[in-house]
Amino acid sequence: MSSRDGVRWRRPFLEAFVRPGLDPSDWVHRNNMVARGVVPTGSNEISIYVSRHYTYPTCSLERLTLRTDGFASVHAGYAGGEFTTRLMRVDGKALVLNFATSAAGMVRVEILDSSGKRLEQTPAIFGDFVSKRVPLREPLSSPVRLRISMKDADLYSLQFTP
């Protein structure tokens, strides 16, 4: 799920985000509907509220929590993997990543110019961070691509900051 303006959203995958679960009372119409809004409920957490037991006297809202920006991720297993972004205009002195790895996992970012020449490469980083600032040697202000290599990791979001 993504949005450039916070108003129009794109959801190219249609798999269930919240499944009914084991309780038969959650397998009737209008269950698992998400209440309006995503609520920040901690420094590294957001919450959504879903309906449960619709049409029963026990009808209620259940709070579900996610890591900040944790709706979807690019995932790489233990064998590893990589992807390259489209060409994008950026302006910044640091890259901020939201990611989680195993103890044996890692994320590494290469910054490429429009012809594919490497401008910079971050060290391999590991851990579980909602906002890990990775300083860059040179400020960026031209179109670049990112080649991101990962091993046993999930990358939830990235952004360039001043």
CB of 71 closer than 8 Å to CB of 45: no
- Give the tens place of pLDDT for each residue, 98-137: 999 999 999 999 999 999 999 999 999 999 999 999 988 8
Q: Which of 1-10, 25-34, 109-118, 137-146 has the lowest mean pLDDT?
A: 1-10
Percent of the chain clearing pLDDT 70 (strictly above): 99
In sequence order, what DSSP letters do the residues of 55-91 get, joined into one string? TSTT-EEEEEEEETT-S--EEE-TT-EEEEPPPEE--
Q: Is residue 2 part of a domain?
A: no
Owning domain of residue 151: 74-161
Instruction: Look at the block and give the residue holding tokens 């944790």.
Output: 70
Distance from C-alpha of 108 to C-alpha of 119, rounded to nearest angstrom? 14
Which stretch of DSSP H or E encloses residue 147?
strand 143-161
Domain count of the chain?
2
Distance CA 74, CA 81 (A): 10
Q: Which has more pLDDT, 108 or 32? A: 108
Counting residues of the chain whose pLDDT is more than 90, the rounded percentage is 72
**CA–CA distances in Å: residue 40 to residues 5, 69, 100, 160:** 19, 10, 20, 22
Whether residues 104 and 126 fall in one domain: yes
CATH number at residue 119: 2.60.120.260
Residues 57, 86 within the same domain: no
Q: Does 12 map to a domain?
A: no
Q: What is the mean pLDDT of residues 133-157?
A: 92
What is the pTM for the complete model shown? 0.82
Task: Give the count of beta carbons closer than 10 Å to the beta carbon of residue 157.
Answer: 18
Structural domain contains residue 149:
yes
Q: Which residue has the higher pLDDT, 13 or 75?
A: 75
Band (2; pLDDT cuts 50, 70, 90):
confident
**What is the pLDDT confidence band of residue 11, given thresholds at 50, 70 and 90?**
confident
- Does 14 fall in a domain? no
- Per-residue pLDDT band for 4 (boundaries 50, 70, 90) equals confident
What's the average model confidence in pLDDT over 23-42? 91
pLDDT at 96: 96
What number is the average pLDDT over the span 28-47? 91
Residue 94 pLDDT: 92
Residue 4 lies in a domain: no
